[in-house]
Amino acid sequence: MIKGLDLINKELKTSKTNNPCLTVSLRFTNIKNMKKLNYSFSGSNKETNVLSFSPDPNETDENNNSVGDIAICVDVLKKEAKEQNKDFLDHLIHLFVHGVLHLLGYKHDSDREASKMEQIEKSILGKLGIEDPYLIEL
């Protein structure tokens, strides 16, 4: 797990800033609270696995080291891991990496953006020994 955090930290440093000390707040929540968060920030009244929130520019800390906040819905995480036959921890790490990439400005609104984001995710996860999360077993 530490190796994974080091890789993510490296991605944060090279993509976001030269600040040697960056922070990401991570919140684990349930479906009810995740739906509320999703509705409050995107207008979508449905459950989701991960949400990312960039810091409010009016509320930055004095060192400007906050990259943002990530919320992961444990209920959805468990359900997806089981349905997709994935290791729980591997899927958790994937969702965290996905959330961090959103904080760094990556999106998946178009096929091109999604492909770029997925390639970065697969690269980071591969270095951690985690299989391609987008492979579909038939």
The domain ranges of the chain are 2-127
pLDDT digits (tens, 9 = 90+) for 32-68: 999 999 999 999 999 999 999 988 777 666 666 788 9
Q: What CATH homologous superfamily does 2-127 map to?
A: Metalloproteases ("zincins"), catalytic domain (3.40.390.30)
Residue labelled with tokens 């976001």: 16
- pLDDT over threshold 80, residue 5: no
Per residue in 11-20, pLDDT tens?
Answer: 655 554 556 6
Taking 70 as the threshold, does the pLDDT of residue 138 lie above it? Answer: no
Distance, in Å, from the CA atom of 117 to the CA atom of 108, rounded to the nearest integer, reads 7
47/17 Cα distance (integer angstroms): 32
User: pLDDT at position 84, please?
Assistant: 94
Buried b / exposed e along 92-106 (16+ C-beta atoms within 10 A): bbbbbbbbbbbbbeb
Proportion of the chain above pLDDT 90, given as a percent: 64
